[in-house]
Structure 1
Amino acid sequence: MAWCLDLDPSTNSKITIWLLKNVNNAEEIQKRLFDGHLKCCIIKASLIIDPFQIAVAANKALVAESLTTKTIFTEILFNLSISKNITSSLQTFGISATDKELLIVSIDNLKETSHSLNFIEGDEVDMKILNQFTDVNMVKKIYKISDVESKTMIC
């Protein structure tokens, strides 16, 4: 049910993304992320139209000469945003205590991410149903997409 993709050949890396719904412990997940105990990136599913968005952000993070943020996982969140404000980017795309649908992102190290997935209380579902959780109006607002431009969005 996970979505996988090889990234830029120069990075020799692969991204794996899982979609979870009915997450019951988002507040605890958020705390563990901030404490550095979870080795993955966790993204609000409501702000993602297609997993390729995440792949592009991850690829950009991996090919960069240096990170703007502290970790590769926060760099992915930062790269999803059109803002250059790190805090705003992390707050917008990162997990909040009330989130019920999440995307878990791993770069290569599936063993560490598998441990993180076991901690999360939720149901893993097929990535094909991601659009059921996407808030198109919020995506349009965050990316400043006009009504005319939105007619070409893939949803």
Structure 2
Amino acid sequence: MTYSLELDNNSNSTIKMKLYRNVKNVSDLRQKILNRTLDCCIVKPSLIVDPFQIVIAANKAVVAEKLTTKSIYSEILFNLSISKNITQSLQKFGIEDNEREILVVVIEKEGTTSNFENVLRQIDGEEVNMLQLKELTNVEEVKKVYKLSDVEFTHLSVLNSVVSRIAGKEFL
């Protein structure tokens, strides 16, 4: 199941996401991303509470007048983090060679050729329903990464707290 949503109206962009388990070629995918031969972002699902979390990070990236990182996809990973350290953000939210679950993210601009299917063809894994994301989320790790207090955790939804951190990153 593909999660698809139009981003900011002025951006003419759509975000598309798919969740995979038991991926056998993560190392190859990671290398292709580093070599810029695979045009996408692959995120660790263990740190994602809801697809909306990625939508917020992606929307910030597409409306930014100037990127902090080298590409729209590294900008999404950077925006997911509350850290202003690019390397730390990419390492925290990007995939490592030993990952087996991945969340694939592609941004498509209106009027351009779709890259999404090309990216998906290169994944050797089991596509699963996006609803299974909750099973892969490590809430304790999310609390730690986003520095959520116990009081905040009990009074607000984790998603609301995380989205607030992402949206307000430049003000912290």
Q: TM-score range by the shorter chain?
A: over 0.9
Given that residues 78 and 90 in structure 1 are in contact (C-alpha distance below 8 angstroms), is that contact kept between their aligned partners in structure 2?
yes
For structure 2, list consecutive stretches of 5 or more residues without a partner in the other structure: 160-172
Provide the rounded CA distance (Å) in 2 between the counterparts of 1:101 and 1:149.
Answer: 29
Residue 131 of structure 1 and its aligned partner are, at CA, apart by: 0.4
For the aligned residue pairs, the C-alpha RMSD in angstroms reads 1.3
2:133 paired residue number: 130
Aligned partner of 2:95 in structure 1 is 95
Is residue 153 of structure 2 the alignment partner of residue 153 of structure 1?
Answer: no
In the other structure, the counterpart of 1:64 is 64
**Partners of 2:108 and 2:115 within 8 A in 1:** no
In structure 2, C-alpha distance between the alignment counterparts of 1:67 and 1:57, rounded to whole Å? 12
Q: Which residue of 1 aligns with 2:24?
A: 24
Shift of 1:148: 2.0
Question: How much does 1:27 deviate?
Answer: 1.1
User: Identity over aligned residues, as a percent?
Assistant: 50
Aligned residue number for residue 117 of structure 1: 120
Preserved contact between residue 61 and residue 67 of structure 1 (Cα < 8 Å): yes
What are the Cα deviations for residues 24-79 of structure 1, in whole angstroms up to 9, with x where unaligned?
11111111110111111110011000000100000000111100000000000000
Q: Tell me which amino acid in the other structure corresponds to 1:126.
A: N
> What is the TM-score when the length of structure 1 is the normalising length?
0.95
Say if 1:38 and 1:113, in contact at 8 Å, map to a contact too: no
Question: Displacement, 1:154?
Answer: 4.8
Q: Secondary structure at the match of 1:4?
A: strand
Question: Unaligned stretches of 5+ in structure 1?
Answer: none
Paired residue for 1:7? 7
Structure 1's consecutive aligned runs of 4 or more residues displaced over 3 angstroms after TM superposition are none
Counterpart among 113, 135, 141 of residue 144 in structure 2: 141
What amino acid sits opposite 1:3 in the alignment? Y
